[in-house]
Amino acid sequence: MSTTVDARVAIVGGGPVGMVAALGLHQRGVPVIVLESEPDRIRSEWRGSTLHPPTLEIFDELGIAEPILATGVRLEKMVYRDLELSGEAAFRYDVISDLTRFPFRLQYEQYKVIRHLKDALVAEGVPVLYEHAMTSFAEDEGAVSITVDDGATEKVIRAEWMVAADGAHSIARKALGLDFPGFTYPTQSLVVATPLDLGAYVDDLPPVSYWSGPRGRVSVIRTPDIWRLAITTDLGVDEEYEYTGDNPHPSFIDGMRLLLHGAVDPFSIELKQHQFYRSHQRLADRFRVGRVLFAGDAVHLASTTGGMGLNSGVHDAHQLALAFEQEDLESALNAYATGRRLVSEMLVQPMTTDNRAGTDLLDPRYRQARLEELRSQAGDLVLEKEHIYRAAMLGAAGLEFST
């Protein structure tokens, strides 16, 4: 068998995690190729819109931050409220100005991030092979042979290393038999998107606010394009709800009546999106097997509350690129795999679990107690900074390799 390779690193998965890894590796002089099973198209979907400060720093390093910063919606104050109870807890991002160049959270649609990454890869000549679905792979002779199907034929791509950034249903993870323990939340959440100006009906509504209520959470997020809401439902994980365009789920109806104080008939609200999703808390037992390295949803899934999933995957990709700068690559890749898994286990998973549990409280007594606790934290500078530090993922971006 030939020992020649097509690239030093082959990345399976052309989503944001795979593209960040590809761009970061390429800019460090590492020959890379991206294999993506889907066609060369970017769907305009309102999801994955949160960008935390460490992610903005990574994007700035990669050279794609300028258009994102120019048009993204900045969140400079994190606000927690309740649909029935009075009062709020507000945490200021400027308390972390001494820790980051970007002391704010940014709302910017994931599909636009992918577009900027794709444009950068094209401009820098990084090969991205669309409609190249990996069907199998094997490690041999100091490389990984990846069999891909391009819709017409099968061919083999060889690389010294393979990065599996192929998402929650990772073919690579399953092929290697990696455990993916954790749990799926018993009910589905609903995400809707509307052009209705919610700020016209809610006093002092910031770009992002988390509301607790009698049915659970209502997370309200403003993106450059639209308002998005993530809402707790009682729909079982295996249940179906047929949305026909004029029958939004009861959780949306009740939530909007409380949020907008009856000023707008919920049935009259134009919806550009009405979609259910399942939330998971899962973590693979390993992030490396031989010459196969994992990143993103392929090895860790977390509740979307707090917007940490996409960001954590981007941090994986950045740390992986940094590892290839190190003289002792073997040790650096082991440190990457161990360090990133530890970050997921000790920081991201607990934070996202707590976020979901807190916003899904139903009993008004518990909701009141939580709101009072948050207000107490917001009134103490040290506790406020600790809260924003965690929410901004400053402690979860990962280890930095010494150079």
Residue 91 tokens read as 């945490």
> Which of 280, 301, 322 represents a domain boundary (last residue)?
280
What was the pLDDT predicted at 47?
A: 64
For residue 96, being part of any structural domain is answered with no
Per-residue pLDDT reduced to its tens digit, 331-342: 999 999 999 999
For residue 1, being part of any structural domain is answered with no
Same domain, 266 and 330: no
What was the pLDDT predicted at 245?
A: 92
Closest by Cα among 68, 46, 45, 71 to 55 = 68
Same domain, 30 and 149: yes
What was the pLDDT predicted at 236?
A: 96
Same domain, 225 and 338: no
Same domain, 246 and 120: no
Residue 291 has pLDDT above 80, yes or no: yes
Same domain, 125 and 267: no
Per-residue pLDDT reduced to its tens digit, 66-116: 999 999 999 999 999 999 999 999 999 999 999 999 999 999 999 999 999
> Which of 257, 280, 303 represents a domain boundary (last residue)?
280
Q: Please, which pLDDT band fits residue 1 given cuts at 50, 70 and 90?
A: very low
> Which of 280, 297, 329 represents a domain boundary (last residue)?
280
Residues 6 or more apart whose CB falls under 8 angstroms from that of 107 comprise 49, 50, 51, 72, 73, 74, 75, 207, 208, 221, 222, 223, 224
For residue 399, being part of any structural domain is answered with no
Residue 403 has pLDDT above 60, yes or no: no
For residue 13, being part of any structural domain is answered with yes
For residue 362, being part of any structural domain is answered with no
Domain that holds residue 52: 7-72+108-182+281-357
Strands 280-283 and 288-289: unpaired
**Calpha distance 329→336 (Å, rounded):** 10
Residue 305 has pLDDT above 90, yes or no: no
Same domain, 263 and 285: no
Residue 289 has pLDDT above 70, yes or no: yes
Same domain, 344 and 304: yes
Same domain, 227 and 320: no
Residue 207 has pLDDT above 80, yes or no: yes
What was the pLDDT predicted at 15?
A: 94
For residue 343, being part of any structural domain is answered with yes
How does the average pLDDT of the chain come out, rounded? Answer: 93
In order of 129, 302, 332, the CA distances from 337 in angstroms are 26, 18, 9
What was the pLDDT predicted at 45?
A: 66
For residue 223, being part of any structural domain is answered with yes
For residue 389, being part of any structural domain is answered with no
What was the pLDDT predicted at 381?
A: 96
**Domain holding 124: CATH number?**
3.50.50.60
Mean pLDDT computed over 190-219: 95
**Calpha distance 271→301 (Å, rounded):** 28
Reduced 3-state DSSP string for the chain: CCCCCCEEEEEECCCHHHHHHHHHHHHCCCCEEEECCCCCCCCCCCCCCEECHHHHHHHHHHCCHHHHHHHCEEECEEEEEECCCCCCEEEEHHHHCCCCCCCCEEECCHHHHHHHHHHHHHHCCCCEECCCEEEEEEEECCEEEEEEECCCCEEEEEEEEEEECCCCCCHHHHHCCCCCCEEECCEEEEEEEECCCHHHCCCCCCCEEEEECCCCCEEEEECCCCEEEEEEEEEECCCCCCCCCCCCCHHHHHHHHHHCCCCCCHHHCCCCEEEEECCEEEECCCCEECCEEECHHHCEECCCCCCCHHHHHHHHHHHHHHHCCCCCHHHHHHHHHHHHHHHHHHHHHHHHHHHHHHHCCCCHHHHHHHHHHHHHHHCCHHHHHHHHHHHCCCCCCCCCCCC
What was the pLDDT predicted at 2?
A: 43
Same domain, 166 and 204: no
Per-residue pLDDT reduced to its tens digit, 242-261: 999 999 999 999 999 999 99
Same domain, 131 and 44: yes
Same domain, 273 and 251: yes
For a pLDDT cut of 90, what percent of the chain falls above it? 86
- Sheet containing 227-236, strands listed edge to edge, beginning at the edge strand earlier in sequence: 89-92, 77-82, 208-212, 218-222, 227-236, 187-194, 273-277
Q: How many domains does the chain have?
A: 2
Residue 267 has pLDDT above 70, yes or no: yes
Mean pLDDT computed over 131-148: 94
Same domain, 57 and 172: yes
